Chain A
């Protein structure tokens, strides 16, 4: 049965689009049939992160408004056959999406794919609520800092009240994806620790993505990090998160600061 997954956060710039692309690609690499849908109408980015910006002809708004067929708007990834992208429109705004139109497109996608990954825009307004509207599962992307955590908390409240599932009295599955985690800064108290974030948000942890230049490099090359460098730490963390979404039980290891020989020696002599 197809699953609709929304990647959301409330706050901007925490890594929703990067995570949507990486999780979508990782699910596809694991053999699933995946479409990644960009809901950020007016500020589309997912096409760039996925390296498909020169192949966009029709977009989500065209399909929602009935100007194009779904098959015309879907862009198949050139690297992984089972991965597709439904881009957003850059020239329109979020009001171009209608609840009925979005519902129709999601239903149509459910028939074609195993996973429908919806990349939500930031904020709590129309774009974000429409992106989460039909979700079965939510991945809440959070950075280990207080403003991001509070915004995520707000989004969790909306997931529990404004989604179709919640309104029908059903529960929506929620997972926390902690991104930009820097073990050294967390140890020095400059970032929230994993336990602090979990204690505040009280939802299960899907994965911890270490802060890494590898992510930025992959984004700039238009390639999800799980495809660009599968051996890198963030790529492995995304791949494991994707397998947890598919139901596997894999232990989550909190990254710890790796100290060089010198700093260990000095650390000891100072202490």
Chain B
């Protein structure tokens, strides 16, 4: 799963907003590959020489794990620091995309957060496509299972996260984050018996709790992807 970061002019305030976002949610950016979408900067890049190089320097200095660039033609990137980044196709997709396993041109000085997940599933044999967690997922813990579905038989605490390549089923209360379909699976869904989640994401599109209001609070619910938006409904 990769994050799309789309810089917008004017760059100064946008970089300040990025810093604020990164300060607020270090975990969210931690170790996640990032694709830069330059579509919004097309005009500025065309007239200002050196502009793209400066932007590349600014972003690298923030420890982002940049693995690709999109939104500009390859010709526009020739001769800049971006040329070596893998162009993911100049589409208008402003969403997270499936990213191949190419070794990313990571900035080696990039700082990694100290607060790494304390519990990770054992390396699974390649045939396993389902992970079952039969105890509560505590605050600060991450369950990461990219090979398929994750079923949790207990509750997921506030400040915990479940990240699955497939769907996520939670038979307790979901108070933390659930991120389904991380490897680009728009058919993935999230089900929980009691919805108190902080954030739900499917195939890179995410919703925070303030989007869905009080109506679903504490109820059995599911989330799925319809086109480019995350939909939620009670399960009755």
- Interface residues in chain A, defined as those with a beta carbon under 8 Å from any beta carbon in chain B: 124, 146, 150-151, 153-154, 156-158, 160-162, 199-200, 202
Q: Give the CA-CA distance A160 to B140 in the complex, in Å.
A: 13
Residues of B within 8 A of A162 (CB): 118
Residues of A within 8 A of B155 (CB): 199-200, 202
Query: Interface residues of B: mostly helix, strand, loop or mixed?
Result: loop
Q: Is B154 in contact with chain A by the CB < 8 A criterion?
A: yes
Please name 12 further chain A to chain B contacts, defined as beta carbons within 8 Å, in addition to the given A146-B158, A150-B159, sorted by A numbering.
A150-B158, A153-B139, A153-B159, A154-B139, A154-B140, A156-B138, A157-B141, A158-B140, A160-B138, A162-B118, A200-B155, A200-B175
B120 CB → nearest A CB, Å: 10
Counted as pairs of residues, one from A and one from B, with CB atoms less than 8 Å apart, the total is 40
Residues of B within 8 A of A124 (CB): 140
Q: Which of B48-107 contact A (CB under 8 A)?
A: none
Which residue on chain A has the smallest CB distance to residue B172?
A: A202
Residues of B within 8 A of A158 (CB): 118, 140
Residues of A within 8 A of B118 (CB): 157-158, 161-162
Residues of A within 8 A of B11 (CB): none
Which residue on chain A has the smallest CB distance to residue B159?
A: A150
- Interface residues in chain B, defined as those with a beta carbon under 8 Å from any beta carbon in chain A: 118-119, 135-136, 138-141, 154-155, 157-159, 173, 175
Q: Is the Cβ of A154 less than 8 Å from the Cβ of B175?
A: no
Q: Which of A157, A199, A202 is within 8 Å of B140, CB to CB?
A: A157
Task: List, sorted by A's number, 19 A–B pairs whose CB atoms are closer than 8 Å.
Answer: A124-B140, A150-B139, A150-B157, A151-B139, A153-B138, A153-B157, A154-B138, A154-B139, A154-B140, A154-B159, A156-B138, A157-B118, A160-B135, A161-B119, A162-B118, A200-B157, A200-B173, A200-B175, A202-B154
Q: Is the Cβ of B173 less than 8 Å from the Cβ of A157?
A: no
Which residue on chain A has the smallest CB distance to residue B115?
A: A124
Residues of B within 8 A of A160 (CB): 135, 138
Residues of A within 8 A of B140 (CB): 124, 154, 157-158
